[in-house]
Amino acid sequence: MALSSKLSSLPGIACILGPTGSGKNDLALRLSENFPVHVVNFDSRQVYRHLAIITAQPAKNDLHKCPHHLYGFLEPYESMTAGRFVELARECIFQVKKTGGLPVLVGGTGLYLRALARGLAPIPEVPGDVRREVQALCGTLGPEKLHRRLQEIDPCYASRISIRDRQRITRALEVYQATGRTMSSWHENHAPEKGIELLKLGLELEWEQLVQNIWGRIELMVSMGAVEEVRRVWTMHSFDKNLPGLTCIGCREIIEYLEGRLEWEECLQKWFKSTRDYARRQLTWFRKEPGVHWLKPHQAPLAAELLRGFIRCA
């Protein structure tokens, strides 16, 4: 039996979504006090090994409270795609359910969640020569300039991704060059597969509070050693700042500081702005997501009630 069929025959899966700094993992831990929760990551940056601080992976104390999956397993030089995530997540969810656990997806990468729930658009394989050409161009011009080119070609898709997201920017340009169609066009014309039933719990805060949380998180990362963490990975890989793992927000800014191109205060402000802009894009994406139960961080009892009812009906 195909894994997708096995998954669809099992009870539904819970999901906690929201922007960075909204307290998603905290809510999952609260739920683990009353349910056999296994947290399954769906954040595209928290998959990287050696970058636990800068990507805000769960703390060691939190890892002891309930099982966590798909965190910190990928080397910084490896790329993670939505397709690979779906394969890993489906297998992980099936294994958790098989042992009687309750998988709770936690993260902020909307594309990964959508790919898991609806399947992926059947985009053709890009020829190797096209991929090499686009990758070389990115190495010469940098992801920011290629993002501006993508905005002209596919403004809808470009608005959803960071100007420093080398992987998605180059992928979109490769697809356009190889097929003559934009990534948005491929996604729009994709008929959804039979999806996995999801209980979607969304965390929302007042914008001012979220901004304060983001700044507090950056200060905490610095105090925990984020600069040294990025320095170690950067030097360990021959000072290659284009490593997929080093495209995480904060890494590029810290590297510019280490290179002497930014003063420390400039680095912090740029890092803060990048994180704040990312949070805004996440909110835009998730507000379009159907069927989300929006909650405040203090409404853990309501989240538990919704989860209990969902399990009962699944």
How many residues are recorded in the chain? 314
* pLDDT for 285: 92
* pLDDT for 282: 95
Query: Is 76:233 a contact under the CB 8 Å cutoff?
Result: yes
Query: Is 44:244 a contact under the CB 8 Å cutoff?
Result: no
Q: How confident is the model at residue 64 (pLDDT cuts 50, 70, 90)?
A: very high
Q: With 80 as the cut, is the pLDDT of residue 58 above it?
A: yes
DSSP collapsed to 3 states, 160-220: CCCCCCHHHHHHHHHHHHHHCCCHHHHHHCCCCCCCCCEEEEEECCCHHHHHHHHHHHHHH
**Mean pLDDT, residues 19-35:** 96
* pLDDT for 204: 93
Q: Does domain 128-188 have CATH number 1.10.20.140?
A: yes
Report domain extents, the chain: 3-120+190-313, 128-188
**Mean pLDDT, residues 31-49:** 96
Q: With 80 as the cut, is the pLDDT of residue 103 above it?
A: yes
Q: With 50 as the cut, is the pLDDT of residue 7 above it?
A: no
The answer to whether the 3-120+190-313 and 128-188 domains have the same CATH topology is no
Could you give the CA distance from residue 104 to residue 145 in angstroms, rounded to a whole number? 37
pLDDT: which is higher, 5 or 155: 155
* pLDDT for 202: 97
What does DSSP say about strands 37-41 and 102-107: parallel, antiparallel, or unpaired?
parallel
Residue 219's φ and ψ, nearest 5 degrees, are: -60, -40
Q: How confident is the model at residue 2 (pLDDT cuts 50, 70, 90)?
A: very low
* pLDDT for 119: 75
Token pair of 227 as six digits: 């600069």
Q: How confident is the model at residue 6 (pLDDT cuts 50, 70, 90)?
A: very low
Could you give the CA distance from residue 149 to residue 138 in angstroms, rounded to a whole number? 11
pLDDT in tens, 250-263: 999 999 999 999 99
Q: With 90 as the cut, is the pLDDT of residue 139 above it?
A: no
* pLDDT for 115: 86
pLDDT in tens, 190-208: 555 555 778 999 999 999 9
- Show Cβ contacts of residue 7 under 8 Å, excluding neighbours closer than 6 positions: 90, 93, 94, 196
DSSP secondary-structure letter at 22? Answer: S
CATH level 2 (architecture), domain 3-120+190-313: 3-Layer(aba) Sandwich (3.40)
pLDDT in tens, 166-192: 878 898 999 999 888 998 888 776 555
Could you give the CA distance from residue 63 to residue 54 in angstroms, rounded to a whole number? 17
DSSP secondary-structure letter at 244? Answer: G
Q: With 50 as the cut, is the pLDDT of residue 4 above it?
A: no
Give the DSSP H/E element, type plus range, for residue 50. Answer: none
**Mean pLDDT, residues 30-44:** 96
pLDDT: which is higher, 254 or 145: 254
pLDDT: which is higher, 242 or 150: 150
Distance, first Cα to last Cα, the chain: 21
* pLDDT for 257: 98
What is the average pLDDT value for the chain, to the nearest integer?
Answer: 89
| pTM for this prediction | 0.81
